Chain A
């Protein structure tokens, strides 16, 4: 019969085991390993890490840039047209800059690019690492004494984080300013139906004056957090696979769904922390 004296220790051990086996537990563990990995291993390996990092950044930020630019202009233009139609009816034309900053800078820019990167880079990354895991390549790195987190995950996470941030900045700029010219074009096509009578310089001035310190932090911080989460979940989905190739698409699907859910939850947290408290002073 087992001793009762060991029961609390056994319960703690069970809780620890359950936490380690759970997705949040593994995500936290991987985050810690990624954070610690730059300080482990030889500095000369940073060149190899830089190669993978540059590839990931290129894949995340440069390759989709044209389509992101195109979509951002469309979304920015449509958003601007809708607000310039709606706000005068509400008697609040003077808050055009504020609502554009709210819609594009705080929400649409980071969210849209995060969804795009989760679907594109996140799925590719999960498939890439999953295939390596299934083919035994991750084990072969371990057998050579190479930390797979430092070799594979760290550069992918950095590349995805920085890439998503750059892509979000591109989206924001294109939507705010490219969207203005699209909206102007729509005004020409449908005169009288829209309320956009603001010149470009005045519009830029209104948007600039609406940008607060919080926005300048969020414009970088929010997509960076989204990029970090997308990359970590994608790498984790790949590393959690065992040895069967049929697990790879399942892992990829899980990574994308988990990323989407995490992005929405994080967006809610950001809104609670930064956006909603600031709205009271902005909108009537």
Chain B
């Protein structure tokens, strides 16, 4: 069995004094896998992704006890120094729902940021890497524009190029098709599929758009009532006995990507 890249054990999380939105989540993703975490909006999918990368940390509960564990490449994210977590994150890519490109930098400069920061590549090598990803993500001609001057679809692809620039072993995608029309969703997902075929990168995607998993040939785990359900296929969910699961598929336009 291939190596586990990211793992959560008994993860519990709540915002301030509210009810827990994650109440004992267990999850693991292995090298080369594609996993989509689906569920209703506002139920903690994006928070789960942030927790897995150590961007959020649950506060200890009233008894001071731990709120589960998160492992990245086998190391406990909350038990190693921040500097070590940052080293581990260099082996990951993250595409935020809002894209989160650095607004005062151009697309090319955004893609170059992690390369300048983490690698010993020369300026020329960095330029080559940047242009390769600009081409791969269909951004040629737009590389000198700032994010605000791009369409949402282009911004999403620029964020993807930046996430892929360091050749990550695992890619975290937060609602990658949110706000995109069918055509742009299709373009984006087909690019992700191509990149996956080339690099064997593992993909952990959270989305309410369950059809994305079918497009990328991945499995789906639904986050409901604070816990993750067993992995299923898109067909299993659409034929499920649980009306809440079927409702998630009905929300989807299941004629897409066919």
Q: Which residues of A contact B (CB under 8 A)?
A: 40-42, 44-45, 47-48, 131-132, 135-137, 139-147, 151
CA distance A249 to B190 in the complex (A): 41
Given contacts A42-B117, A48-B116, contact A144 B90 (CB under 8 A): yes
> Given that A136-B98, A137-B103 are contacting pairs, would A143 and B55 also be in contact in the complex, using a CB cutoff of 8 Å?
yes
When distances are taken between beta carbons in the complex, the residues of chain A under 8 Å from B89 are 142-145
- Nearest residue in B to A48 (C-beta to C-beta)? B116
Give B contacts to A, CB under 8 Å.
50, 53, 55, 83, 86-90, 92, 94, 96, 98, 100-103, 113-114, 116-118, 120, 162, 166, 172
A41 to B119, CA, bound (A): 11
Report yes or no: B116 in contact with A45, Cβ–Cβ below 8 A: yes
Q: What is the chain B residue whose CB lies nearest that of A134?
A: B98
Expressed in whole angstroms, the minimum distance between the Cβ of A245 and any Cβ of chain B is 12
Given A132-B103, A137-B103, decide whether A145 and B94 contact each other with a Cβ distance below 8 A.
no
| CB within 8 Å for A142 and B116 given contacts A135-B103, A136-B100 | no
- Can you list 6 contacts pairing A with B, beta carbon distance less than 8 Å? A42-B118, A136-B96, A136-B100, A141-B102, A143-B96, A144-B117
* Chain B: CB-nearest residue to A147: B86
Known interface pairs A44-B120, A136-B100, A137-B103; A144-B113 also in contact (CB < 8 Å):
yes
Please list the 7 inter-chain residue pairs (A to B) with the smallest Cβ-Cβ separation, ordered nearest first. Answer: A140-B100, A136-B100, A145-B89, A143-B94, A145-B90, A145-B86, A144-B114
A145 CB contacts on chain B under 8 angstroms: 86-90, 114, 117-118
Residues on B with beta carbons closer than 8 Å to the beta carbon of A135 = 98, 100, 103
Closest Cβ of chain B: how far from A156's Cβ, in Å?
13
Known: A139-B96, A144-B90, A145-B90. A45 touches B101 (CB 8 A): no
Given A40-B83, A139-B55, A140-B94; A146-B100 close (CB under 8 Å): no
Nearest CB of chain A from residue B50's CB, rounded to whole Å: 8
Contact between A137 and B55 (Cβ–Cβ < 8 Å)? Answer: no
Q: Whole-angstrom distance from the CB of B202 to the nearest CB of chain A? A: 16
Chain B residues within 8 Å of A146, by CB: 86, 113-114, 117-118
Is A143 within 8 A of B53, CB to CB?
A: yes
Kindly provide the distance from the CB of B7 to the nearest chain A CB, expressed in whole angstroms. Answer: 18
Q: Name the residue of chain A whose CB is nearest to the CB of B122.
A: A44
Chain A residue with the shortest CB-CB distance to B92: A143
Query: Which of A131, A139, A145 is the most central at the interface, judged by chain B CB atoms within 10 Å of its CB?
Result: A145
Q: Once the chains bind, are B55 and A142 in contact (CB under 8 Å)?
A: yes
- Whether B117 and A48, one on each chain, are in contact in the complex, defined by CB atoms closer than 8 angstroms, is yes
Q: Write out the residue numbers on chain B whose beta carbons fall within 8 Å of the beta carbon of A42.
A: 117-118, 120
Are the C-beta atoms of A137 and B116 separated by less than 8 Å?
no
Pick the contact of B100: A41, A48, A137 (CB < 8 A): A137
User: Once bound together, how far apart are the Cα atoms of A136 and B94, in whole Å?
Assistant: 12
Specify which chain A residues have a CB less than 8 angstroms from the CB of B113 in the assembled complex: 48, 141, 144, 146
In angstroms, Cα B105 to Cα A48, docked, is 12
Q: In the complex, given contacts A137-B100, A144-B162, what are 7 additional A-B residue pairs having Cβ atoms less than 8 angstroms apart?
A: A45-B116, A48-B116, A135-B100, A136-B96, A139-B96, A143-B55, A146-B114
A143 to B85, CA, bound (A): 10
With a CB–CB cut-off of 8 A, which chain B residues contact A147?
83, 86
Contact of B116 among A47, A136, A141, A143 (CB under 8 A): A47
Instruction: Return chain B residues, CB-CB under 8 Å to A45.
Output: 116-117
Cα of A146 to Cα of B89 in the assembled complex, Å: 9
Q: How far is the CA of A142 from the CA of B172 in the complex (A)?
A: 14
The interface residues of chain A lying within 8 Å CB-to-CB of B87 are 145
Query: Which of B50, B92, B117 has the most chain A CB atoms inside 10 A of its CB?
Result: B117
Q: If the complex has contacts A145-B90, A145-B114, A147-B86, are A137 and B120 also in contact, measured as CB distance less than 8 A?
A: no
Compute how far the CA of A272 lies from the CA of B163 in the bound complex, rounded to whole angstroms: 53
Cα distance, A48 to B89, chains bound together (Å): 20
Q: Give bound CA distance, A246 to B103, whole Å.
A: 18
Tell me, rounded to whole Å, the shortest Cβ–Cβ distance linking B150 to chain A.
15
B252 to chain A, nearest CB (A): 26
